[in-house]
Structure 1
Amino acid sequence: MIRLSLAQEPAGFDELVRKPGLRALDEMVGNPVIRTAGKKFKVVAARKQDIKGTDFPAYWTEALPDLLKCYGRLCAYTGFYIHKVTGSPSVDHSVAKTKDWRLAYEWTNYRLICSLMNSRKGVKNLLDPIAVQDEWFELEFVGFQVVPRPGLDGPLVAIVQFTIDELGLNERACIEVRTEYAEEHWEDQTNKSWDRISKRCPFVAREMDRQGRKQGPL
């Protein structure tokens, strides 16, 4: 994993996501709302904190095009490029909807991740990519596995390893993707191949550079 810099809230987010989302939650607990159009929601709970996660209207999907653009189509957890057509991008709530309904429709709470990572993350207390520091994760180039950087203190090592394990970052498919990007650069050894890996697999690129494994032009 690499540290994620929070992108600025895009124009239109308030009208597309925040306002309709919060208005829907008001309606779902019986609060009076002013509506001009759109779906009408039934009362499902007495308090917003009691609304089930599956009942929250998915207005956050309206933010997906902006998330893809702002974050270069990179999954916040794997650091892999989410390909068009074959990729499956999704919006992750860093703080789960059921833990704080007030963040359900907030840009700052959204992370772009692939659907596989979204399903694995669930509501687990994993590291937030925005809080991750560059010196926390390391790539070892024998098996292309992600490991905690040596020198971290015990509690930090535990949460770093927990995040790696729960997301399956060292499962075969993830290892193969890292290997393919690295070997492509090593075989090509051009600036073009380096630009590609830097944009589409930046964690591997960073570790190659840090560990002296970046190759120059032939």
Structure 2
Amino acid sequence: MIRLTLAQEPAEFDAKVRQPGLRALDEMVGNPVVRTAGKPYKVKAARKEDLKSVDFPAYWTESTPDLLESYGRLCAYTSFYIHKVTGAPSVDHAVAKTKDWRLAYEWTNYRLVCSLMNSRKGVKNLLDPTAVHDEWFELEFVSFQVIPRPGLGGPLAAIVQHTIDELGLNEKSCIDVRTEYAEEYWDTQTAKSWGRLLERCPFVAREMERQGRKQAS
């Protein structure tokens, strides 16, 4: 995992996501709203805090194209490129909707992730990519497993390892992807292949450079 820098909120986000989302929540707790289109939402609860996860209309999906463009199609948890045809991008809420409804339709609460990582993360208390430090995660190049950087304090090392385990970052499929990208670069060692590695698997590129495994230019 590498540190994620939040991108600027898109110009149309408020109109496409925030306003309709918050208006829907008002309707679902019986607050009067001014509707301009679409069917009204049924009352689901007395308070927004009591709404269930399935009650929240998925207006955040409207932000998926902007997230893909803003974050270079990179999954925030795996640091793998989400391919246009075979990849399945999704929007993860850093703070779960049911934990704070006020963040359900906020750009800063969204993380672009592949659908597999989104399902694994769920509402678990894992490290947020915007809060991690680059020196917390290390790539072990013999097995291509992600490990906590040696020297981390006990509690910090534990939460790093917990995040790795819960997301399955060392399952065979993830290891295979890292291996393939690294070997593709090592087989050619050109500026073009290095640029591809930076674009498609930046965590491996960073660790390759840090550990002296990048070809000297």
Which TM-score band applies after superposition, normalised by the shorter structure?
A: over 0.9
Secondary structure of the structure 2 residue equivalent to 1:119: helix
Which ranges in structure 2 are unaligned for 5 or more consecutive residues? none
Amino acid at match of 1:204: V
**What TM-score comes out, normalization by structure 1 length?**
0.99
Q: Write out per-residue CA displacement over residues 68-109 of structure 1, whole angstroms, 9 at most, x where no aligned residue.
A: 000000000000000011000000000000000000000000
**What TM-score comes out, normalization by structure 2 length?**
0.99
Amino acid at match of 1:128: D
Pairing 1:107–2:69 present: no
Deviation at 1:216, TM superposition (A): 4.1
Q: Partners in 2 of 1:87 and 1:122 — Cα distance?
A: 19
Aligned length: 217
Which ranges in structure 1 are unaligned for 5 or more consecutive residues? none
Deviation at 1:175, TM superposition (A): 0.1
Q: Partners in 2 of 1:84 and 1:216 — Cα distance?
A: 32
Secondary structure of the structure 2 residue equivalent to 1:46: coil
Matches within 5 A, 1:93-104: 93-104=93-104
Secondary structure of the structure 2 residue equivalent to 1:135: helix
Matches within 5 A, 1:1-218: 1-216=1-216
Deviation at 1:39, TM superposition (A): 2.8
Q: Partners in 2 of 1:196 and 1:203 — Cα distance?
A: 12
Secondary structure of the structure 1 residue equivalent to 2:129: coil
Please say if residues 191 and 216 of structure 1, whose CA atoms lie closer than 8 Å, have aligned partners that are also in contact: no
RMSD: 0.7
Amino acid at match of 2:116: L
Amino acid at match of 2:78: T
Secondary structure of the structure 1 residue equivalent to 2:135: coil
Runs of 4+ that moved beyond 3 A: none
Please say if residues 185 and 215 of structure 1, whose CA atoms lie closer than 8 Å, have aligned partners that are also in contact: no
Q: Partners in 2 of 1:38 and 1:72 — Cα distance?
A: 33
Percent identical pairs in the alignment equals 81
Deviation at 1:215, TM superposition (A): 1.7
Q: Partners in 1 of 2:216 and 2:55 — Cα distance?
A: 53
Q: Partners in 2 of 1:40 and 1:114 — Cα distance?
A: 32
Q: Partners in 2 of 1:43 and 1:154 — Cα distance?
A: 47
Deviation at 1:38, TM superposition (A): 1.8
